[in-house]
Amino acid sequence: MRLATVRTPHGTRAAVQRDSTWVLLKDNNLSSLFSHADWRSQAEKALGETEHEDIQLADAELHTPLPNAAKIVCCGLNYRDHIVETGRDVPEYPTLFAKYADTQIGPNDQIEVGDDSIQVDWEAELAVIVGSPIRRATRAQATAAILGYTVANDVSYRDWQGRTLQWFQGKAWAETTPIGPVVVTADELDPAAGLEIKSEIDGVVMQQSNTRELVFDAADLVAYVSQFTPLAPGDIVLTGTPGGVGLGMRPQRWLQHGEVLRTSIEGIGELRNRISMSTTHEGENQS
Amino acid sequence: MRLATVRTPHGTRAAVQRDSTWVLLKDNNLSSLFSHADWRSQAEKALGETEHEDIQLADAELHTPLPNAAKIVCCGLNYRDHIVETGRDVPEYPTLFAKYADTQIGPNDQIEVGDDSIQVDWEAELAVIVGSPIRRATRAQATAAILGYTVANDVSYRDWQGRTLQWFQGKAWAETTPIGPVVVTADELDPAAGLEIKSEIDGVVMQQSNTRELVFDAADLVAYVSQFTPLAPGDIVLTGTPGGVGLGMRPQRWLQHGEVLRTSIEGIGELRNRISMSTTHEGENQS
Which DSSP string do the residues of A137-203 spell out, in sequence order? Answer: --HHHHHHHEEEEEEEE--EEHHHHTTSS-THHHH--TT-EEEEEEEEEGGG--GGG--EEEEEETT
Q: What sign has the CA pseudo-torsion B217, B221, B222, B224?
A: positive
The series of mean pLDDT values per 10 residues for chain B, 287 residues long, is 97 97 97 98 94 91 98 96 81 97 98 98 98 98 98 98 97 98 98 97 98 97 98 98 94 98 98 92 53
Judge whether A162 is closer than 8 Å to chain B, CB to CB. Answer: no
- Report the complex ipTM: 0.96
More confident residue, A58 or B51: A58
Q: Which CATH class is domain A72-281?
A: alpha beta
Instruction: Please give the model's pTM, rounded to 2 decimal places.
Output: 0.96
The pLDDT value given to residue B51: 81
Convert the pLDDT of each residue in A17-55 to its tens digit.
999 999 999 999 999 999 999 999 999 999 998 888 899
Task: Calculate the average pLDDT of chain B.
Answer: 95
Euclidean distance between CA atoms B272 and B204, whole angstroms? 13
* Cross-chain residue pair B168–A93, CB shorter than 8 Å: no
Judge whether A81 is closer than 8 Å to chain B, CB to CB. Answer: no
Judge whether B115 is closer than 8 Å to chain A, CB to CB. Answer: no
Judge whether B169 is closer than 8 Å to chain A, CB to CB. Answer: yes
* Cross-chain residue pair A172–B100, CB shorter than 8 Å: no
Residue of A nearest to B168 (CA): A97
Judge whether B174 is closer than 8 Å to chain A, CB to CB. Answer: yes
* Cross-chain residue pair A95–B173, CB shorter than 8 Å: no
- Residues of A within 8 A of B116 (CB-CB) are 227-228
Calculate mean pLDDT across residues A173-189. Answer: 98
* Cross-chain residue pair A173–B76, CB shorter than 8 Å: no
Count chain A–chain B contacts defined by CB atoms under 8 A: 85
The pLDDT value given to residue B50: 81
**Residue extents of the structural domains in chain B:** 2-62, 72-281
The pLDDT value given to residue B109: 98
- Residues of B within 8 A of A167 (CB-CB) are 166
Euclidean distance between CA atoms B106 and B125, whole angstroms? 15
Residue of B nearest to A165 (CA): B95
The pLDDT value given to residue B287: 43
* Cross-chain residue pair B163–A230, CB shorter than 8 Å: no
| pLDDT over threshold 80, residue A143 | yes
Calculate mean pLDDT across residues A96-106. Answer: 98
Euclidean distance between CA atoms A212 and A80, whole angstroms? 9
Judge whether B163 is closer than 8 Å to chain A, CB to CB. Answer: yes
| pLDDT over threshold 70, residue A287 | no
- Residues of A within 8 A of B96 (CB-CB) are 164, 166, 168-169
When scoring A72, A97, A221 by the number of chain B Cβ atoms within 10 A, the one with the most, hence best to mutate, is A97
* Cross-chain residue pair B168–A96, CB shorter than 8 Å: yes
Answer whether B130's CB lies under 8 Å from B237's CB.
Answer: yes
Tell me which residue of B166, B122, B154, B137 sits closest to B227, measured CA to CA: B137
Poorest-confidence range of A9-13, A80-84, B3-7? A80-84
Q: Which of B93, B165, B227 sits opposite A95 (nearest CB)?
A: B165
Judge whether A91 is closer than 8 Å to chain B, CB to CB. Answer: yes
Percent residues over pLDDT 70 in chain A: 97
The pLDDT value given to residue B251: 96
Q: Which of A97, A103, A164 sits opposite B93 (nearest CB)?
A: A164
Answer whether A34's CB lies under 8 Å from A129's CB.
Answer: yes
The pLDDT value given to residue A81: 81
Judge whether B98 is closer than 8 Å to chain A, CB to CB. Answer: yes
CB atoms within 10 A of CB A143: 17
Tell me which residue of A150, A85, A87 sits closest to A124, measured CA to CA: A150
When scoring B163, B168, B227 by the number of chain A Cβ atoms within 10 A, the one with the most, hence best to mutate, is B168
Answer whether B101's CB lies under 8 Å from B67's CB.
Answer: yes
The pLDDT value given to residue B82: 79
Encoded amino acid at B233, one letter: P
